[in-house]
Every structure is written in structure tokens, then in C-alpha cells.
Amino acid sequence: MRFTLLGAGKMGGACAEYLLSWDETTNLRIVERDEILLSKLESVVSDKRVEVLNTTIIDKSDIIDIVNGSDAVICALPYYLNLTITEACIDAGVSMCDMGGNNDVVMSQLAMNDRAREAGVIIVPDCGLAPGLSNVLVAKAISEFDRCDEVHIRVGGLPIDPVPPFNYQIVFSVNGLVNEYVEPCKVLRGGDVCWVEALTDIEEVRFGGDYGVLEAFNTSGGSSTLPETYQGCVREIDYKTLRYRGHCKLMQGLKYLGLGEDRVIGLSGLNSSPRRVLSALLEHYLPKDGDDVVLVYWWARGESGGESCEFRYKFIIEPDEDMGLSAMMVGTSLPTVLVAKFIAEGKVVDKGVLTPERALPVDDYISAFLSESCVEIEEVQ
């Protein structure tokens, strides 16, 4: 299998580690402009199967040349570049997947479905942790009922040793984090697709074990296309992010001050958007290097065999010490590269732009993730 990986940051670097752990990978082309990031991947770039392109992707024609001949492309670049990469891959006749996370970008990608189908390619956006793996878990939960009425999923990447007052550390792109905290959130309520504000509807989640009681609140992007996919057969679907208690109120305060706004303002000599300032402050002041954990908790209610029933599940993703990967790297990069592998192996049958819950063979995909990650799903009583 021949892969092209666009981006070698935290998640891209982890993608490279997984891709090279498979004997079936015969060639991996890594595209990254930052030499410092590449220098951190010494064991990766020294692999004979790896071809490194230390370059900046300027326009669509560059991308077409780069991805040509690949069985699948993995885009680990910031979400706002995903649409350009999608267009280039369709024109090149090469299938791709990305880590998604922004509703507007994904809807623009889905609008290219006919073009992708005509080109005979597969485009799967939103393939990371949430959205991504979470979509497939919801699809599996719904399939367990004769009639599913509601599904709720809660996901969070947390520091094992939280530092007050935010009790959070940067475990993935800070721009992606701010996107989750600022942009509107899509839910399915009463059978209707609705939009709610981020950082609202705080609830307690009793995760148990070492993590006790956490908080969960609305964040953008995590529900992805689930409300549209299951509208008409499920009445309630929502996604919330898990954090240590008190975190959401602090972020609400920053948002109240206007630090989520994207318009450029002039203030005391500053000529930038408050949102960029917020991203820079979080990047500078929050911890980055401590051990982390990813918690996933979901439940569904409905009817099976003529009786009302409810299922609750949870699992914990821990760092992979052997591979040197954080829990968030495992939880985000492994689901993404598995999509690329399924595409390359012909396990994704339909062509076009398809989100994970529509594109993937659900049982096989979940089994592959559990096997590779050594994660065990626990049923909650």
C-alpha cells in the first residue's frame, strides 16, 4: 500500500508511526514544511519506505503532483485546508481522508459528492477521535436496537495531573480547540436538526474509577453529520466534551470578553482578531507535555424485542509508551489511518464523499481499532 501523509505535527507524526508499523505499507510520502517537526521524526524518516518532501503546499496543482500514485492520502493539516486538499485529490483521482472537525468545511466537502463519485474516488472527512471514531460508535449503538430513540456521546482528552485553574493541557491543535469552544454545535432534538451554542448545557458525568465526576458541555464539530444521517429514525443525538469540573465556566468568561470573535480589531496598538489572541494565549500558558488520557462514554435508549432498553458503554485510551504516543495521538491518529487502510484495501465500497458512519464497515472498523489500540470497551451497569 502506498500512502501520502500531509502534515507531520503531533497527529501527523503519530499517523506516520502507525502507517510504518504495518508490513503492507510499501511507500509513505510525508509532506511537511517545518524542518523542526521532521527532525523529531528521526526513526520515521530513516525508514527506507519513507520519502520526505520538505516543502510548502502552495496551490492545487502542487497537491495533485504530490498525491499522484497513492492508494490513499491522509490529511493531518489544519481543518481550514481540508477543502483545498479534497478538491485536489478529486482532480488527481486519488482517495483521501482527514481529521475534520469544522462543520462548514465538512458540508462544503459533502457538496462535492457527485464530483468525487464521477472521479471514482473516496473522500472521508471527520476521521479522527470525535468526530470520527465517535461517529462509528454511534452507528454501532443504533444498530443494536429495533428502534433507537436517543444516543448521547461524551469524549474528552484530559491531563492525568491537572494544573489549576483550567485543569487542561494542549493535546492537539489549539486552533482546533478554539474552534470547538466558539463555533455553533449541531444536535438532533425532537427529531429536528438544531444548532446550540458552544460551552452551554453543562452536565455532570459520573465516569467512575480515578476520574470520578466530570463535567460535559456542548462543543462544536463532534456530532459531525450524525444528526442529518439519523434524522427520521432517531429523535435525540448530542455530543459533549468531557473536562474536569470548573473548566467550562472559565472558558465562558473568556468568550464573554469577546475572545472568540474572528473579526480583526484595533485595540491599544493590537491589530489582530481576538480569536487569534486567545489561541496564542492558550498555546503559551497552558501545559503541553504531561501525560494524558482520553475518556469515551456513550449511552443509547430505544426498543429491542418489544421491550424498552438502555445500553451504556465507556472506555479509556492511554498513552502508548512503546510507540511514544500520547493518548490523544492514539485516539485521533489511529482511527484516521485505519480509514486510509480500509480505503487502500478496498474495504470502503461506495465512491463519493462519505462520512465515517456511512462509509465504513462498522463492526470490522471497531474491531480493528480495539485490536490496534488494546482498548477494552466496558459496559456500564
The answer to whether 210 touches 283, Cβ cutoff 8 Å, is: no
pLDDT in tens, the chain (381 residues): 999 999 999 999 999 999 999 999 999 999 998 888 888 888 888 999 999 998 887 688 889 999 999 999 999 998 889 999 999 999 999 999 999 878 899 999 999 999 999 999 999 999 999 999 999 999 999 999 999 999 999 999 999 999 999 999 998 888 889 999 999 999 999 999 999 999 999 999 999 889 999 999 999 999 999 999 999 999 999 999 999 999 999 999 999 988 888 888 766 666 788 899 999 999 999 999 899 999 999 999 999 999 999 999 999 999 999 999 999 999 999 999 999 999 999 999 999 999 999 999 999 999 999 999 999 999 997
pLDDT given for residue 355 in this prediction? 94
pLDDT given for residue 267 in this prediction? 66
d(CA 299, CA 312): 4
Q: How many CB atoms are located within 10 Å of the residue 200 CB?
A: 13
C-alpha cell, 361: 464497515
Which residue ranges form the domains of the chain, and what is each CATH number? 2-128+330-371 (3.40.50.720), 133-324+374-379 (3.30.360.10)
pTM: 0.93
